[in-house]
Structure 1
């Protein structure tokens, strides 16, 4: 049975591991509840349940949800997230949109886990996925190693893309309940702003994830 998470123009992608740089904006989704719409949590407003975070001028489409690791009392079938214990995902539609009205440049990066289905990310110079496409990034399938200690969507890998111009929105596309994101980073091709050099073995790990794949869901059924 397939397990769930609850429970064209291509730019160069970078696979790395990183540590947060204070000069960058990093969204770690901590402070949000399990399975709530993020909405204006990072935009001077609130999430669906009334939670508020730092005002970075970032707004998410209404189908974009937060989810908490089962080991922390949530319903998320994941582990090995870069910042405990909350990540981003979606349960409806084929994509999630993130708007940054003030814009950002240089690069965009994040950690993710997608053990069954590949995804993609597109960066645009207009809001709501409009305007000129600045970058398009294919998101490969990742391995599942059992998590910490039981999440199937684990570990999380970081990936990023550089571009020219000023971006104002990002589309995260994939199969609903099959891909999770964390530590979304603006202004760097390395998630968290790391300057580490990618290791060739990282790419090989993704290849292993396709072999002998057992379908799983990100959100655990209750």
Structure 2
């Protein structure tokens, strides 16, 4: 028979671990045509198939599981048009927002303040670097092979890049800079085809978890001795 303090400690550990699981995901398909992707991305699971079609900004983005409006909006500045590439068979990759010889800024608003998110960027054409204006050192690069066709999933690694543990500011905003690294006949061209936004909760560090566990074990042991 397990002692009370062992059971209590085990329950606390389970609670801490279960509380660290990510629960929120939003999918965005930036539109250069009329095709909207419906399927799994590199973040989330097989049931997270709802993608929000966005040409510039949409104040009513849905959660990826279709559970309702998220209250999150995405806006892009610095883009000058929409484009499509029919050699990419996947609807999320065959069209995108683009800009000629300039930097595009992607603003995600309405997030939980001072919280952590994983971001996945999809790019079916030009080479891009994605950085976070408030977190120096975070970098996600996409180097797509424009001659290849991409099915889904799994997506080939040249078509997407992921930034982990991106922190929103005190107003619930994350600002992403899309820097062009390659381009066509008009010079460097920025482009973005899709975006996934997934809120994550930090897992307690081993030292913190150990202190909580020892504390509850000690408290339960004292109570057990008093009752004996």
Q: Which has the higher helix share?
A: 2
TM-score scaled by structure 2? 0.45
The structure having more radius of gyration, on CA atoms, is 2
